[in-house]
Structure 1
Amino acid sequence: MDYLTENVAVNLKRIRQSKGMSLDQASEQTGVSKSMLSQIEKGTANPSLGVLGKITSGLRIEFQELIATPLVDSYLVTPEDLVPTKELDGQYTVWTCFPYEDTRLVEIYRIDIEPGGTYVSGGHGEKTREYLVVTDGVMTVECNGKEHEIQLKQAFRFETDQTHIYRNRGTEKTSCMCFFLDYH
């Protein structure tokens, strides 16, 4: 399940319950079937914008309330359970674990690169910085015209205002956790 589907699932259930509504009552108010509402709350449905519009109108909430990251004390993410943000078969897979938001200036994602694989990332604008920690293998990162070899359990920081390249020159898959910071 991707993070947006998860957000809608958690928020819809929380909002419905905070209004003291059963699924039947929410269905009556929104014009969306009880089974569809249940599937959305379980994260097994991918509702159209029209359905989300009916929900926001019927529950009298702003669209942003439905898609915002839920306010929770803790939140566990297993990247393999998410839909990859980007992937190229035989090369790399990228998962966004915690997306960038207006109220949080950090984005956390994981990158897996297959042996011989390369992942090219465009620049992210001025005053952006990335921190990465290699969790498997050895990763080569090219930025600002220089290559840096980052070993297992090492951490690396670099400015991401221009194109940067992640490479796996080894024979085993390499992985890293990346923390992208916007410090405007």
Structure 2
Amino acid sequence: MDINKVIGENLKRIRKEKKMSMARLSELSGISKGMLSQIENGETNPTINTIWKICSGLDIPYTALFEEEEAETVTIIKKDQVSLQNLDDNASLYLYYGDTNQRTFELFQMEIKAGQEHKSVGHSLKSEEYIMVLEGNLKMVIDDKEYDLAADDAISFDANQEHTYINTGSDLLKFVLIIYYK
């Protein structure tokens, strides 16, 4: 699977379905027309922030750009088959299930290196985030409040606000992250 090709094809299809010009999407997302063109043609590997901005401009869920057609009613997904987004040098996001017409949630596994953090600007669509820690220690900062979680702990919150994931442990932090769209 060439993820850049999938992103590009979905971006072009969704933009055209919304009857949106490249110039208009550029205005709404803050991404240059040249960069949008490169993404649509699968010529570049967009950053997670670029994808969030594009999705915000299109008013679509983040994973809408990663979707591939599902043909089977039973699907097994192995970690080496999922799309990976390196959020930065310290965090990785694995997309297992994206939002579809039949599914109003996205399911990810996130990994953050020891002592590192990742900040999310919040999601463009009205949504809730559900997290369950698999391994390690997670400190969530939401609306300037801190919440400490260990393995098997869970938290949920309004995902439209800025929030930060911090690995406070000495090992790799792994957690399941579900974004539910209302």
TM-score by length of 1: 0.59
Match of 2:113 in 1: 114
Q: What residue in structure 2 maps to residue 77 of structure 1?
A: 77
Q: Give structure 1 stretches of 5+ with no counterpart.
A: 7-47, 50-66
SS of the equivalent of 1:103 reads coil
Letter in 1 for 2:155: F
- Cα pair distance change 1:2/1:173, threshold 3 Å: farther
The SS at the match of 1:96 is strand
Question: In structure 2, what is the Cα distance between the partners aligned to 1:2 and 1:165?
Answer: 30
Correspondence 1:96-115 to 2 at 5 A: 96-115=95-114
Work out the percentage of aligned pairs sharing the same amino acid: 19
Judged with a 3 Å threshold, the aligned counterparts in structure 2 of structure 1 residues 87 and 123 are, in CA distance, closer, same or farther, namely: closer
Amino acid at match of 1:70: E
**CA deviation string 1:8-37 (max 9, x = no partner):** xxxxxxxxxxxxxxxxxxxxxxxxxxxxxx
Cα pair 2:121 2:163 within 8 Å, conserved: yes
In structure 2, what is the Cα distance between the partners aligned to 1:154 and 1:112? 16
Question: Are the aligned partners of 1:3 and 1:82 in contact in 2 as well (CA < 8 Å)?
Answer: no
Amino acid at match of 2:78: T
Match of 1:164 in 2: 163
Residue 141 of structure 1 pairs with residue 171 of structure 2: no
CA shift at 1:126, angstroms?
5.4
Hey, what's the Cα distance between the residues in 2 that align with 1:5 and 1:76? 22
Q: How many residues align?
A: 124
Matched-pair contact (CA < 8 Å) for 1:79–1:110: no
Counterpart amino acid of 1:73? T
| Structure 2: gaps spanning 5 or more residues | 7-40, 43-66
Task: Report the Cα offset of residue 74 of structure 1.
Answer: 1.7
User: 1:69: Cα distance to partner?
Assistant: 2.8
1:136-163 deviations in Å (ceiling 9; x for gaps) = 1111111122111111011111111111
* Code of the aligned partner of 2:138: M
Alpha-carbon spacing, 1:149–1:168, altered in 2? closer, same or farther (3 Å)? same
Letter in 2 for 1:76: I
8 Å contact 2:133–2:175 — kept in the other structure?
Answer: yes
In the alignment, the residues of structure 2 paired with residue 118 and residue 2 of structure 1 have an alpha-carbon distance, to the nearest angstrom, of 28
Partner of 1:125: 124
Q: How many Å separate the matches in 1 of 2:156 and 2:83?
A: 27
Query: Residue type matched to 1:101 in 2?
Result: T
Measured after TM superposition, the shift of residue 179 of structure 1 is: 0.8
Distance 2:87 2:2 in 1: 14
Q: Which amino acid aligns with 1:180?
A: I
How far apart, CA to CA, are the structure 1 residues paired with 2:74 and 2:179? 20
Summarize the alignment of residues 1-184 of structure 1 with structure 2, pairs less than 5 Å apart: 1=1, 68-89=68-89, 91-125=90-124, 127-183=126-182
One-letter code of the match for 1:156? I
SS in 1 for 2:84: coil
Q: Greater CA radius of gyration, 1 or 2? A: 1
Instruction: Indicate if the aligned counterparts of 1:109 and 1:177 stay in contact, CA closer than 8 A.
Output: yes
